[in-house]
Chain A
């Protein structure tokens, strides 16, 4: 069975600073990887996903994540954060080519400070 570990539960960072949110997964087979974002008092929204092909994927609001198979990681990065990026971020994994369900990590609360 697959599993996801988000190593940091809280990440405070100053506005315009870079940030990295870490995600490691465990699976013996090929996977699909996702980052979802949850703004306060809202449901989750898809931020970006890796299915196949280029290991670097980008979102429309400046986040990017790189799939690293050897390190079983899918870390999320942004070179310069804004106050509006304050949210909880969830990494999720599923086995590719199957109907197996998504497994979510425990989440990382990103707080951008002025």
Chain B
């Protein structure tokens, strides 16, 4: 199993540009989520999905869109990038909806918005 994969690893955008961060998992996990990691703030939940076709907002959803058309894929879209979205983005998945289950994290995407 490849686990959770993310592309790209690094990205530089100009303010106002749009892009999609890709996330895929091959473990047949129902639950997937996106976090952003900023210095001194830990990980903050952006959006999550409890299954194909079902998504919901996390703690910091503004400026981001998600969709979940398949169990495997959970892309994160930035519609109009802003410097405040400069961060490291992690995708994660876990089996089932129970929060007692371990979350498996991807390697991250480092995004810089100029």
CB within 8 Å of B: which residues of A? 4, 6, 9, 32, 41-46, 49, 51, 90, 94-96, 98-102, 104-107
Contact = CB atoms under 8 A, between A and B. Distances in A.
A94 B102 contact: no
Given A51-B100, A99-B99, A43 B42 contact: no
Interface string B9-33: 0000000000000000000000001
B58 interface: yes
B15 to A, nearest CB: 26
Interface of B: 4, 33, 35, 40-45, 48, 50, 58, 90, 92, 97-100, 102-103, 105-108
Contacts, number: 58
Given A105-B42, A106-B42, A42 B107 contact: yes
Interface centre among B41, B99, B105, B107 (most CB of A within 10 A): B99
Contact of B105 (A9, A43, A96, A105): A43
B100 A106 contact: no
A43 B5 CA distance: 10
22 contacts: A9-B40, A32-B99, A42-B108, A43-B92, A43-B106, A43-B107, A44-B103, A45-B105, A46-B102, A90-B42, A94-B99, A96-B99, A99-B97, A101-B33, A101-B48, A101-B58, A104-B42, A104-B43, A104-B44, A106-B41, A106-B42, A107-B40
